[in-house]
Chains A and B, each alone.
Chain A
Amino acid sequence: MNTKKNAHSKDENRNSLSADMADAGAIAVKVDDLTVAYNYKPVLWDIDLEIPEGVLMAIVGPNGAGKSTLIKAILGILKPIAGSVTIYGKPYHKQRSHVAYVPQKGSVDWDFPTVALDVVMMGTYGSLGWIKRPGVKEKKAALEALEKVGMLPFKDRQISQLSGGQQQRIFLARALVQDASIYFMDEPFQGVDATTEIAIINILKELRKAGKTVVVVHHDLQTVPEYFDWVTFLNVKKIATGPVKDIFNDDNLTKTYGINYKVSVQK
């Protein structure tokens, strides 16, 4: 481990620097022997995974690799048939307030009768608990989050009247409002325009700078080295996990995606 660290610190790349800090830091998420099945067919098989605190991590893998399933199982949305998940050493249901989740944009009905601000306010519901209603404080937090993602002028817009990129920003704002330590995002770049993609990745990088852990299901392999400092290769089984600099190579890509996957990795 130590020799590896020294090798990193030769270059002053921010990625490896923060990765090193993370190496020394706490484990934010620990997944042990996790198996998830749909109708007895395993979609995730015996996953062991440690996500260090403060990394910006991509989960990559082909379609049907179980990337979304992994996130959902970590968040207790899906019940695993075996294994366990801990967030800072405790089960998820005790750590909800530390975790924010951005589901796939396509998982909700955007024709639902509500406006952008209201969707962002939903991020505050977790800290409110059952029955209690959001008040002035929650509204203020939601407006601030909208400001951060550049969507304040759209706060009263019906959500179906927003573009795909704007909808994704609303989802991001909703996660920001939770003020969590760990953020899970399911394909936040899917179907968004280039400006939104840059805006989102900048916010994610800011989160990491603030010491948060960010886990993103990601599809575009080309941008992995540019956006992320940590990566997990997944295809039903875990193929590899670690710093992008060390493990994002043709070998692991081929193992994950099958026959001779070549991607020009910009080092």
Chain B
Amino acid sequence: MSSAQFEIQLIASLVAIACAIPGTFLVLRKMAMISDAISHSILPGLVVGFFITQDLNSPLLILLAALTGVITVILVERIQKTGLVKEDTAIGLVFPALFSIGVIMIAKNANDIHLDVDAVLLGELAFAPFDRLTVGGTDIGPKSLWIIGIILLVTIGLLIAFFKELKLSTFDAGLSASLGFSPVIIHYGLMTMASITTVGAFDAVGAILVVTLMIAPAACAYLLTTDLKKMLGLAVFFGIFGAISGYWVAHWLDASIAGSIATMLGVVFFLVYLFAPSKGLIAVMYREKRQRIEVLLLTFLLHLKNHSEVEERHVNHLNEHINWQKVKSKTVLDLALKNNMILIDNKIVSLTEKGDEFTSQAIDYIITNEDAQIEDMKKHFFLFRG
């Protein structure tokens, strides 16, 4: 691995971390699409900044572009507040307008200089190691490494300082306001940080793929944990994994690095979506199947409880009485036997003490809807886990 290769992976990983942190909060605030809006609408800010500074890496340019990002958020909210259109419509109105202003500005004024739409949209991660920062004649590394490194440090610093406030205002803006933590200030702080990160990341991965790095890792993490800190950690992990695996996929396919990173994150999300232990598709399907069987089990037990007559409890009669197909009855019978809820003596089914108690408890719960009673049952039965 050459040093250029290492530098590219390092830059991509830092960008991924810097994006995953604000991305986690955007996902939790159901504002994922706002990152898409920001990433597009910073273009006019970039162009104006570039006209002024003539340098794509100038801090002034980053600030100007980030300002455009914040203006986007304000415009979206203003339009939404009129009540005439919904939020997604407002986003769809604002960012193409700002983006196209940027495109026209480039076409009119910047055709002869190094600023083209492709570079802005898709990034040129492969060239990042060539644009180096020198101090007093010494090479101290790629410029974009320094830019994203500084942005990441600021992001982590702010996250540590304001973790409590971010969590509170994301979960419960009303309480946050009443306790004196202005949700408006926190909201715009987060939006400013997301905008700055987007600008800082754009020349590494391009403005559009920033969206992937903000949303996909956070979405994967969301499906895997119920702890905000772990969610942040997992989002960072998935971001880095996407960055490095994406780089090597690009190397192998001789394709765009940014495109490969985004693709890898898409694949990772798909796998998590399928296999996440409790929220994943397979887990959900399994749970629903179990719940269906458990409802049948309960019906069956209730039938036994209601009918003391021997003929009602004969194995052969049960099929007809509850009117299930053979397979279904067997599953239910097996489940009941496995849990020691019934006894089969001479083909006559009867409830055990445990089965009897379980049925009473379950019926009681269904009638009163009181949770305290079923805490023990939750451990063994999906039905009562909501």
Contact = CB atoms under 8 A, between A and B. Distances in A.
B222 interface: yes
A193 B170 contact: no
Contacts of B164: 125, 128, 131, 133-134
B372 A75 contact: no
A128 B163 CA distance: 13
A77 B168 contact: no
Contacts of B368: 193-194
A119 to B, nearest CB: 7
Interface string A149-160: 000010000101
Contacts of B316: none
B174 A39 contact: no
B227 interface: yes
B83 to A, nearest CB: 6
B172 A125 contact: no
B371 interface: yes
Contacts of A115: 226-227
A260 interface: no
Contacts of A134: 164
B181 interface: yes
A77 B178 CA distance: 6
A77 B177 contact: yes
Given A109-B171, A153-B375, A131 B162 contact: yes
A99 B179 CA distance: 9
A120 to B, nearest CB: 12
B83 A114 contact: no
A195 interface: yes
A132 B179 CA distance: 14
B171 A114 contact: yes
A126 B177 contact: no
Interface string A165-180: 1100000001000000
B165 interface: yes
A54 B222 CA distance: 44
Contacts of B228: 112-114
B156 interface: no
Contacts of A131: 161-162, 164-165
Interface in B351-366: none
A242 interface: no
Given A113-B228, A114-B167, A161-B385, A72 B174 contact: yes
A105 B231 CA distance: 24
A158 B171 CA distance: 14
Contact of A122 (B175, B180, B386): B175
B225 interface: yes
Interface in A39-96: 39, 72, 75-77, 93, 96
Nearest to A161: B386
B319 interface: no
Contacts of B163: 133
Contact of B171 (A96, A108, A166, A194): A108
B363 to A, nearest CB: 16
B28 interface: yes
Given A114-B171, A126-B179, A128-B164, A195 B386 contact: no
A101 interface: yes
B369 interface: yes
A103 interface: yes
Interface in A112-151: 112-115, 119, 122, 125-126, 128-131, 133-134
B345 interface: no
A163 interface: yes
B371 A163 contact: yes
Contact of A103 (B83, B165, B172, B370): B172
B177 A195 contact: no
Contact of B170 (A112, A119, A126, A160): A112
B183 to A, nearest CB: 9
B83 A39 contact: yes
Nearest to B82: A39
Nearest to B174: A103
Contacts of B371: 163, 165-166, 193
Interface in B336-386: 368-372, 375, 385-386
Contacts of B181: 125, 130
A96 to B, nearest CB: 5
B172 A107 contact: yes
A93 B177 contact: no
B386 A101 contact: no
A108 B168 CA distance: 11
B376 to A, nearest CB: 11
Given A107-B172, A113-B231, A131-B161, A76 B369 contact: no
Contacts of A108: 171-172
Contact of B174 (A107, A125, A128): A107
A126 B370 contact: no
B171 A112 contact: yes
A119 B171 CA distance: 9
B90 to A, nearest CB: 16
Contact of B177 (A76, A158, A161): A76
Closest 9 interchain pairs by CB? A126-B179, A158-B226, A103-B174, A101-B178, A75-B178, A77-B177, A163-B371, A108-B172, A112-B171
8 contacts: A39-B83, A109-B30, A113-B28, A113-B228, A113-B231, A125-B179, A125-B181, A153-B375
Interface of B: 28, 30, 83, 161-165, 167-168, 170-172, 174-175, 177-181, 222, 225-228, 230-231, 368-372, 375, 385-386
Given A75-B177, A122-B171, A133-B164, 7 more contacts: A112-B170, A113-B225, A113-B228, A122-B168, A122-B172, A125-B181, A193-B369
